[in-house]
Amino acid sequence: MMDLKEQRKIKEEVIKYFVKAGIFLTSEEKKNKIQIVDYNTGNFYQMGLAMVAFVNVPRYCGKFIFFFPGQCCAEHWHPSIEDKPGKEETFRVLWGKVYAYGSGEPTKNIKAKIPKGREKYFTCRHEVILNPGDQYTVGLNEKHWWQADHDGVIALEVSSQSRDEYDLTTEDKLNTVIY
Ligand code: ZN
């Protein structure tokens, strides 16, 4: 678990990256809208992310996604819930560089460094390298994961409604907490 002090420290760091990237966040967003996703692996800077949703309503969602240098998210997908299809999402890199993995032919010698001991939970090895202006769409129910390059990355995500609590991860024992 992450204490309040640590959460605050991380949020302060996230804000600095947005300033550096020239992406304006309102004071309300800085104060109340930065969310930290922690997978409770004991190393947030290796596995985790931050996000700022500026709209999330039943028919659509828009958010900024942030990864620290070298940080990755868990491989996951967005399942259908009852009669509602899972989330579809398109990412566009605004700042930094990211290695994105989804379905497709495995890439030889992927650039990402998978957290040690967790290789079997990162099954997608089809690599797409995204720089600012590049975008990537994740198909319905498609497994995917990302890792930022050495500067970190900020991306814009546009999607159908986001209900992160329903996301499924390949490593099913992760105890994901959103602060
Ligand atoms: Zn996703």
Q: Does residue 35 have a pLDDT over 90?
A: yes
Expressed in angstroms and rounded, the spacing between residue 17 Cα and the centre of ligand 1 is 22
Expressed in angstroms and rounded, the spacing between residue 176 Cα and the centre of ligand 1 is 14
Expressed in angstroms and rounded, the spacing between residue 100 Cα and the centre of ligand 1 is 11
How many whole angstroms separate alpha carbon 178 and alpha carbon 25? 20
Q: Cβ neighbours of residue 121 under 8 Å, at least 6 residues apart? A: 74, 75, 169, 170, 171
Which candidate, 73, 31, 76, 23, places its Cα nearest to that of 49? Answer: 73
Q: Where are the domains of the chain?
A: 4-178
How many whole angstroms separate alpha carbon 163 and alpha carbon 101? 21
Q: Does residue 117 have a pLDDT over 90?
A: yes
Is the pLDDT higher at 7 or at 85?
7
Whole-model pTM: value is: 0.94
Instruction: Classify residue 12 as left (phi > 0), alpha (psi -120 to 50) or beta.
Output: alpha
Expressed in angstroms and rounded, the spacing between residue 144 Cα and the centre of ligand 1 is 6
Q: Does residue 39 have a pLDDT over 90?
A: yes
Indicate the CATH number for domain 4-178. 2.60.120.10
How many whole angstroms separate alpha carbon 47 and alpha carbon 71? 6
pLDDT at 111: 97
pLDDT at 19: 98
Q: Does residue 175 have a pLDDT over 90?
A: no
Mean pLDDT of 23-27: 97
Expressed in angstroms and rounded, the spacing between residue 88 Cα and the centre of ligand 1 is 8
DSSP per position, 104-143: SSPPSS-SS-PPTT-GGG----EEEEE-TT-EEEEPTT--
Expressed in angstroms and rounded, the spacing between residue 159 Cα and the centre of ligand 1 is 10
pLDDT at 20: 97
Expressed in angstroms and rounded, the spacing between residue 146 Cα and the centre of ligand 1 is 9
How many whole angstroms separate alpha carbon 114 and alpha carbon 109? 12
